[in-house]
């Protein structure tokens, strides 16, 4: 099946520890994204990448880091510098389209729920 | 901030059509209307999108007014599994690499 996988589904970490969330896609999409969702709120963009070995900060990048060494993988590291890391983390991917062509639809993975103890 | 306005909640009887409205009065000519839904504790699911014309797929229909200032998502025969938060989003298409701005959405409850 083609799709986006995120692991693990639930993750617990102790305060002060770094943790890495996995995101893999086999859709051959060029662009990948990381969002964060807090209870009762919309999604906020953390980082995104349009091509291998390149990525850009989103609205709330502080305390997070990413890498894009392979087209199909975009892991997110939540560092100890992130003040409120407990949240639902969502990874998405999309094909790239030229401006004006039908929109570059983003498809989401199932999410990872991170809880800091 | 989200560029769309949706009612916070709606109810629908199982088997009936669910019509979810969305206002986007400041939409630009190159912005598409997207609909996603999110079932509790799952990732958002893409439903449909459109620019000017009405669109239909296996999940839903999207009706966009001629002035493009509002749209309606139609689930023709709602089931209990359609209970979710539905998000209407406008964004520029193409190679923008940009974020999706999710507003508060409409919480649809399908009742037996």
* Nearest residue, CB atoms, B43 vs list A59, A100, A108: A108
Residues in chain B within 8 Å Cβ distance of A105: 34, 46, 49
What DSSP character marks residue A14?
A: -
d(CA A109, CA A105): 13
d(CA A33, CA B96): 12
Cβ distance of B97 and A48 shorter than 8 Å: yes
Residues in chain A within 8 Å Cβ distance of B32: 102-103
**Phi then psi dihedrals of residue A7, to 5 deg:** -140, 150
Which stretches does DSSP call E strand in chain A? Answer: 4-7, 10-13, 19-25, 31-37, 43-51, 54-57, 64-66, 76-78, 87-94, 107-108, 112-116
* Nearest residue, CB atoms, B95 vs list A92, A104, A108: A104
Residue A116 Cα, gap to closest chain B Cα (Å): 18
d(CA A41, CA B19): 23
Using one digit for the tens of pLDDT, what is the confidence trace for A74-112?
999 999 889 899 999 999 998 875 544 455 788 999 999
Whether the CB of A10 is below 8 Å from some CB of chain B: the reply is: no
pLDDT at B96 (0 to 100): 54
Cβ distance of A111 and B105 shorter than 8 Å: no
Cβ distance of B30 and A100 shorter than 8 Å: yes
Count of CA atoms in the C-beta half-sphere (13 A) of B86: 31
Instruction: Give which of A38, A24, A47 is closest to A110, Cα–Cα.
Output: A24
pLDDT exceeds cutoff 60 at A26: yes
Is the bond preceding residue A39 a cis peptide, omega within 30 degrees?
no
pLDDT by 10s per residue, chain B, length 112: 668 999 999 999 999 999 999 999 998 888 889 999 999 889 999 999 998 999 999 999 999 999 999 999 999 999 999 999 999 998 865 545 567 788 889 999 999 9
Please check whether residue A47 is in contact with residue A55, taking contact to mean a CB–CB distance below 8 angstroms: yes
| B69 dihedral zone (left: phi>0; alpha: psi -120 to 50; beta) | alpha
Please check whether residue B89 is in contact with residue B72, taking contact to mean a CB–CB distance below 8 angstroms: no
Residue to substitute from B2, B99, B104, interface A, most A β-carbons within 10 A: B99
* Alpha helix stretches (DSSP H) within chain A: none
């Amino acid at each position: 099946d083609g799709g986006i996988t995120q692991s693990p589904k639930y993750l617990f970490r102790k305060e002060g520890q770094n943790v890495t969330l996995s995101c893999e896609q086999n859709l051959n999409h060029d662009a990948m994204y990381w969002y964060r969702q807090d209870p009762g709120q919309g999604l906020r963009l953390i980082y995104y990448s349009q091509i291998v070995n390149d990525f850009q900060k989103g609205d709330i990048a502080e305390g997070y880091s990413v890498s894009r060494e392979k087209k199909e993988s975009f892991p997110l590291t939540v560092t100890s510098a992130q003040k409120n890391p407990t949240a639902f983390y969502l990874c998405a991917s999309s094909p790239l389209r030229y401006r004006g062509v039908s929109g570059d639809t983003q498809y989401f993975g199932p999410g990872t729920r991170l809880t800091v103890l | 901030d989200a560029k769309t306005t949706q009612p916070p909640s709606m109810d629908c009887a199982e088997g009936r059509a669910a019509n979810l409205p969305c206002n986007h009065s400041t939409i630009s000519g190159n912005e598409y209307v997207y609909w996603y839904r999110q079932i509790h504790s799952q990732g958002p699911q893409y439903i449909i999108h459109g620019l000017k014309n009405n669109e239909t797929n296996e999940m839903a229909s999207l009706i966009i007014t001629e002035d493009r200032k509002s749209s309606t998502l139609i689930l023709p025969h709602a089931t209990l599994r359609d209970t979710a938060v539905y998000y209407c989003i406008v964004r520029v298409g193409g190679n923008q690499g940009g974020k999706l701005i999710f507003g508060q959405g409409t919480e649809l409850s399908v009742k037996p």
